Amino acid sequence: MSQHAQRYSPELRDRAVQMVAETKTKHRSDWAAIVQVAEQLGVGAPETVRRWVLHAGASPARPATLTAGEAAEVDALKRENAELARERDELKHANLELRRTNAELLRVNGILRGVANFFLTESERLEP
């Protein structure tokens, strides 16, 4: 007799993963939560549910997926983070330009002081 693999809908898989996450705290182990969810949903083997949980990347202690609101918030935070990174880079560039300008002004100021001191010294030397 050949064994036929039963296909489960993505919705059922997602629900199973969510249920494992929700019921984990009510059981002694992750496996106990997986067995209960498999029985409740009519999944033939608890191992199937365990693989769904692993594939979803969820530990039973946290949800496998984000709600639409959470996903929107994550997207908004990513956009804000990118904008802040751009602003930081612009400020770094502006700071560098100001430091270069300041260094040039200090150099010119030193030259002008030297010239002024030279003329003051020469004027004192030439006075009778």
pTM, rounded to two decimals: 0.42
Domain boundaries, the chain: 10-102
pLDDT at 123: 81
- For domain 10-102, the question of CATH label 1.10.10.10 is answered with yes
Residue 20 burial (10 A CB sphere; 0-12, 13-18, 19+)? buried
What is the DSSP-derived secondary structure letter of residue 105?
A: H
pLDDT at 117: 92
- Please state whether 107 falls in left (phi above 0), alpha (psi between -120 and 50) or beta: alpha
CA-CA-CA-CA torsion sign (40, 42, 47, 53): negative
* pLDDT tens string 40-88: 999 989 999 999 999 887 554 455 577 888 888 988 999 999 999 999 9
Question: Quick check: 49 and 42 in contact, CB under 8 A?
Answer: no
Look at 2 and 123; give whichever has higher pLDDT: 123
Residue 111 binned pLDDT confidence (cut-offs 50, 70, 90): very high
The phi and psi torsions of 44 (rounded to 5 degrees) equal -55, -40
Task: Give the count of beta carbons closer than 10 Å to the beta carbon of residue 22.
Answer: 13
Task: Give the count of beta carbons closer than 10 Å to the beta carbon of residue 60.
Answer: 23
- Please state whether 57 falls in left (phi above 0), alpha (psi between -120 and 50) or beta: left
Q: How far is CA 119 from the centre of its chain?
A: 62
